[in-house]
Amino acid sequence: MSKYDEALKILIEEVDEANCEYGNIRPSALKSVRDIEELVKRATPMKPLGISITHEGRCANCPSCNKLVHEQTKDAYNRPLHVCHCGQLIDWSDK
Ligand SMILES: [Zn+2]
């Protein structure tokens, strides 16, 4: 479990406890927790779906947004990019 997963877990527990005790957690606070949960999920590398081999290398669908991602996509510095445009980290390893 990453430190971000741990931080999110603590945050969710605190919000749940406060909501049970006082029952007056603002909807914006609950939405913020869900937004952070989404961010933590995207920062956790996930396997791409349906890998196929093309003349440009391997491509597959992003597990979060389902858009096509290419393994050989490069960033502005010509480094291999392992992030979908939606922000999801992609784990291209064979493990
Ligand atoms: Zn995506």
**In this structure, are 87 and 61 located in the same domain?**
yes
**In this structure, are 16 and 32 located in the same domain?**
yes
Rounded to the nearest angstrom, the distance between the alpha carbon of 49 and the centre of ligand 1 is 11
**In this structure, are 55 and 71 located in the same domain?**
yes
Residue 80's contacts (CB-CB under 8 Å, 6 or more residues apart) are 71, 72, 73, 74
Looking at the predicted structure, is the pLDDT value of residue 1 above 80? no
Rounded to the nearest angstrom, the distance between the alpha carbon of 19 and the centre of ligand 1 is 32
pTM attached to this predicted model: 0.68
Domain that residue 26 falls in: 3-43
**In this structure, are 93 and 56 located in the same domain?**
yes
Q: What pLDDT, on the 0 to 100 scale, is given for residue 36? A: 92
Q: What pLDDT, on the 0 to 100 scale, is given for residue 19? A: 82
Rounded to the nearest angstrom, the distance between the alpha carbon of 62 and the centre of ligand 1 is 5
**In this structure, are 31 and 76 located in the same domain?**
no
**In this structure, are 56 and 85 located in the same domain?**
yes
Q: How many structural domains does the chain have?
A: 2
What are the tens digits of pLDDT across the range 27-86?
888 899 999 999 888 888 899 999 999 887 889 999 999 999 988 766 677 666 688 889
Rounded to the nearest angstrom, the distance between the alpha carbon of 80 and the centre of ligand 1 is 16
**In this structure, are 89 and 51 located in the same domain?**
yes
Rounded to the nearest angstrom, the distance between the alpha carbon of 24 and the centre of ligand 1 is 35
Separation CA 16–CA 11 (nearest Å): 9
